[in-house]
Structure 1
């Protein structure tokens, strides 16, 4: 293997790790309403397509994490569970597609007892979504320039998944 090939493979590996870490932090940042994380994650001109609304620009996107409804959902125990995304690298751009589950405590759900662990309250999956991130390499590392979130039951959700793995 040539030095050029080795460097290319090493760069791709580092890029994937940086993107994985960025997106893993995205789920956590939603659960603690971290404006500073979101500010670092998105470019100034990023868009966030939530189906019912497209937020344009970092300032508008930050309103999502700062919304009173977000803080109420966090207080109620909302938790985002990100699945490993499928990542396609192409030079200084990338597309990452994965599932995101939103889980919440459910007082009507059965409590579960696990030997040696005790009893846990019941939880429910509030929503399963397909998340599609378009990223760009910047001077400050990888940043999200576009994010699309679709409920798994949305008409075009499966097409997003298929494009992620087939194109």
Structure 2
């Protein structure tokens, strides 16, 4: 290869990585607005058909269970009282057609009586992705509450190791 070909190949790889990271950030950043507006199909559509959302309270498997969570009475009560699922900037590692993102998230709830907000929970998040037919999808999202348990710290530590 010539120097120009080597340069172009390197630049193309860097641009692809940046495009992949941006696409993954767009999925992660869309989660909060989608789940807080009750757009259950949009939330579920972020996952593969057989994707898993593993929260400390249980595992949701596939689009149907993820949609049902958004449509559930407890989640709808959050929405109608005022809620914000805030996801922090992710640390993303792309490896070909798979990727892992690590970040924090918090659930902020509105108290209608006092007209204040409170942080209901803060979690460590691991998002696993696969590129399927050119589109990134979540295959597994694992959330663990940051309440001193080692499991949550381990998610964060694993996500930033080189």
> Same fold by TM-score, threshold 0.5 exceeded?
yes
C-alpha offsets along residues 51-109 of structure 1, whole Å, 9 cap, x if unaligned? 23112222222211111211111111111111101101100000011111111223676
CA deviation after TM superposition for structure 1 residue 131, in Å: 1.4
Identify the residue that residue 62 of structure 1 maps to in structure 2: 67
Larger helix fraction of residues: 2
Specify whether residues 31 and 91 from structure 1 end up closer, same or farther in structure 2 by C-alpha distance, changes over 3 A only.
same
Query: How does 1:1-167 map onto structure 2 within 5 Å?
Result: 2-106=7-111, 121-139=115-133, 141-153=135-147, 154-167=149-162
The normalised TM-score by structure 1 is 0.87
Distance 1:63 1:122 in 2: 28
Cα deviations by residue, 1:85-136 (Å, 9 ceiling, x for unpaired): 1101100000011111111223676xxxxxxxxxxx4321111111111001
1 CA distance for matches of 2:42 and 2:119?
A: 25
Provide the aligned C-alpha RMSD in A: 1.6
How many equivalent pairs are there? 156
Q: Secondary structure at the match of 1:156?
A: helix
TM-score by length of 2: 0.89
